[in-house]
């Protein structure tokens, strides 16, 4: 069963692993019926979704302010919040039914470091509310060109967009590199995390928001 506690979950979540297991149970029980995951994903929740998301925790400094753009089922924001309770994470999501889910998860898991916010990253009021975040995360939300336009305005200068991507992340970066620069991005790179704990590690595309020095 997907709900059994894998050894690598203990390595990634440490003392917080039971909270992560509860999130997996919630996704198993309600994820398909609420349109959050496909039926074939139920047996893959730990590795493909929860651990895949949580291993990015090594990319964040202590006590950073993070916005998870298009959070959906809560990925990667919820696993990240569980693994790193020092981070202050806003789960940003436009759909009402997903907002309801995220609120339920926050309450059920007692995630005091999480705020749930309805809206889109490109909306003016949202940009004002989330101004100067240290980092923005995203997973399976949009192509890089669009993602940088949405995420970078939410960041302080030098803040990072941390986008979980597939094996073709480098190709995407080469294709959209000019658009990244135009959107105010700098120092874009592809990194792989979780290779020591996951059979298929997580590929991440990191783009910094330009500072005055970068211009």
Instruction: Show binding-site residues.
Output: 70, 75, 121-122, 139
Name residue, tokens 């790193």: 84
CA distance 82 to 53: 11
Which residues are CB-neighbours of 155 under 8 A, at least 6 positions away?
Answer: 132, 133, 134, 135, 136, 161, 209
Asked if residues 111 and 78 have their Cβ atoms less than 8 Å apart, the reply is yes
Which residues are part of a known binding site for S-adenosyl-L-methionine? 70, 75, 121-122, 139
The span from the CA of 155 to the CA of 159, in Å, is 5
């Amino acid at each position: 069963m997907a709900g059994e506690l894998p050894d690598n979950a203990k390595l990634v979540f440490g003392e917080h692993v039971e909270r992560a297991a509860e999130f997996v149970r919630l996704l198993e029980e309600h994820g398909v019926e609420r349109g959050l995951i496909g039926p074939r994903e139920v047996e893959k929740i730990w590795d493909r979704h929860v651990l895949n998301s949580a291993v990015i925790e090594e990319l964040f400094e202590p006590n950073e302010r993070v916005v998870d753009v298009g959070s959906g089922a809560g990925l990667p924001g919820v696993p990240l919040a569980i693994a790193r309770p020092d981070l202050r994470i806003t789960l940003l999501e436009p759909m009402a039914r997903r907002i309801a889910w995220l609120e339920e998860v926050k309450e059920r898991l007692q995630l005091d470091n999480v705020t749930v916010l309805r809206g889109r990253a490109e909306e003016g009021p949202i940009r004002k509310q989330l101004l100067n975040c240290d980092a923005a995360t995203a997973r399976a939300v949009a192509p890089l060109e669009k993602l940088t336009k949405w995420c970078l305005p939410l960041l302080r200068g030098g803040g990072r967009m941390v986008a979980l991507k597939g094996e073709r992340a480098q190709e995407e970066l080469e294709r959209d590199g000019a658009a990244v620069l135009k959107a105010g991005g700098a120092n874009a790179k592809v990194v792989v995390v979780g290779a020591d704990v996951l059979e298929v590690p997580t590929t991440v595309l990191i783009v910094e928001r330009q500072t005055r020095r970068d211009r």
